[in-house]
Amino acid sequence: MPTPRPILYVKSACSWCDEAEDYLKEHGIAYDRINVSADRAGFAEMLELSGQTKAPTMDWAGEVLADFGTDELESFLRERNAVK
């Protein structure tokens, strides 16, 4: 069974969120985007997953990376063989 697409939780006007999205797009990684600034259920989901309110947060098949920059994102993706 294929791995589900990662979910990226973002906030409006968040430069780290924009950088994370740019990185994923540059590397051809498809993802589902939830803007927690506009989606209360999405915010609650992110809070439950990560235990915090900070974005960006990524859920990759149950593995969570919270409040990250592109360096942490790159390491997280390398560990999952999503980027080389």
Q: How many domains, in total, are found in the chain?
A: 1
The mean pLDDT of 64-69, rounded to a whole number, is 96
- Give a yes or no: residue 8 inside a domain: no
Instruction: Label residue 3 by pLDDT band (50, 70, 90).
Output: low
Q: Is residue 63 part of a domain?
A: yes
Residue 22 resides in a domain: yes
Whole-angstrom Cα distance, residue 36 to residue 8?
10
The pair of three-digit structure tokens given for residue 37, joined into one six-digit string? 């600034």
**What number of other Cβ atoms are within 10 A of residue 17's Cβ?**
21
Task: Work out the burial of residue 1: count CB atoms within 10 Å of its CB; fewer than 13 is exposed, 13-18 middle, 19 or more buried.
Answer: exposed
CATH of the domain at 74: 3.40.30.10
Is 62 a member of any domain?
A: yes
Q: Are 9 and 57 a contacting pair, CB within 8 Å?
A: yes
At residue 84, does pLDDT exceed 80?
Answer: no
Please report whether residue 45 resides in a domain: yes
pLDDT per residue over 21-57, tens digit each? 999 999 999 999 999 999 999 999 999 999 999 999 9
Residue 36 falls inside a structural domain? yes
pLDDT higher than 90, residue 83 = no
Is 17 domain-assigned?
A: yes
Supply the range of the domain harboring residue 52. 13-79
